[in-house]
Each structure stands twice: as C-alpha cells, then as structure tokens.
Structure 1
Amino acid sequence: MTELFFWILCLAAFVQDLKTRYFSSWWLLPCLLILLAAGLHPGPSLLFCALILILHLLRRDWIGLADVTAMAFLSLLTGSALYPLTVVACLLGFLWTALIPEQTVPFVSCLSAAAALLAAAR
C-alpha cells in the first residue's frame, strides 16, 4: 500500500510542478504519512541534502526550497539511493533544457520522474 501511495505522490508532484512550478507546504503531509508508513532510512545521503540546502541558501536562483524538500523526502525514504536518483533527475533536467528552452527547469518533476524510472527498473 505504501508503494501505491509513493507512486501517486510522484505522479501528483510531477504534474503539479510541471504546471505551476509551485510546491505547496501541504505536500509535506502526504510525504510524512508515507515516511511513517515506510519507515525512515537515514543514511549518508542526508549529508548531501545538507549541502543542497546550503546551496539553496547561497544561490536561491539555482535551486528552490521545494527541490531541497523533495530531495530530503526521497533521501529519508530511500537512504543511499538518493545519489543515482539525483544523477537521473539532473540528466532529465538537461534533457528538458535541450528540448524546451525555458528560464527554469521543473526539478521536482524531474525528481519524480527519476524516482519512477528507478523504481520501475528495480
């Protein structure tokens, strides 16, 4: 059941971020429910999230707080699997930029798509 909620959350976050580029704080409630149901898997990827948060604090025009929040959620859910997730999400972001040149990349959408791709691949 938790996996189904995870898939629904990824799909909803993908569509929401793609359409609006906005990630409401209301998204934290389903994220917390999934984390409570699945259990937390803190690992070395939390250090990576801390570095991303510092990057956000230094250069808010590069990465938004929604991106940091989504990465922290996925980090707690997947543990060390955050590294391949981030690489795939960045590759999707580069592909997005090449195909649809815009000012911003919907990175939460890229993270959601990467999570779906990696989950389907295992």
Structure 2
Amino acid sequence: MHSHSYRVPDPFRGQVVMVIGYQPSGMDISRDIAGVAKEVHVAMRLEPPDQMHTTTATSHANLWLHSCTIEHAEEDGSLVFQDGSRIKADVILHCAISVDDNRVGLLYKHVFPPILAPHISFI
C-alpha cells in the first residue's frame, strides 16, 4: 500500500505494519497507526537514537525504528533487513515520494516536501 491511499488507522488494528520511509508522511502515519496496531516498524535511512528500539520522541511503545533498509521479502511475509534482522508484517506501507518528469506524485494528502518546490505549495 502507498501512503497516498492512507486515510484512517482503523484497518490496521491489531496488525504488524511495516512503514517504509520516515519523512513527514511516514512519521505522521506511523504514529497514527501505532495507536491501533499491534506493532509498527519503520525502515529509514537515518540512524535513530536507539536502533531497533522505540524513542522517547515517538511516545508509542509499539513503534520501532530501524536504521537499515529492507534487503528482501520472503514468501511467508517476513521482511529481512540488511543487518539480518527480520519482521513478519501483515501490511507494508510505502511512504516514499516519486518524481516523474519533474512532477512529484503519490504523496500523503497531496502535501510535498518544501525542498522540491520551495516557492509554492497547496494546503
């Protein structure tokens, strides 16, 4: 699923959710889903304060930040990270932007990072 399709956290109740990307949309969505999900795991490129643990900034005991990218997915639904750790997720939610011919697309609630268009935005 892509963040573009995300509306409410209720469908994720009791599930293990893997969020790919921790830019503003990934950050907001993961915290929103953490209120109802069993576990929320976030794959991000930046180093979190405590790898593989929740941070005080998240304020959710079931929200885990992973500083390494996903290496591959297995047939049973397990996601294997570059460091060898693995998570079996019920849902994978992509929170990454796409740029096609200088057009930014598929963003959470159609909001885009200001660096891509610093002089104009629509709320």
Larger Rg: 2
Instruction: Give your verdict on TM over 0.5.
Output: no
Where relative contact order (Cα < 8 A, 6+ residues apart) is larger, the structure is 1
Give TM-score scaled by structure 1 length.
0.24
Q: From the two aligned structures, give the one with the greater strand fraction.
A: 2
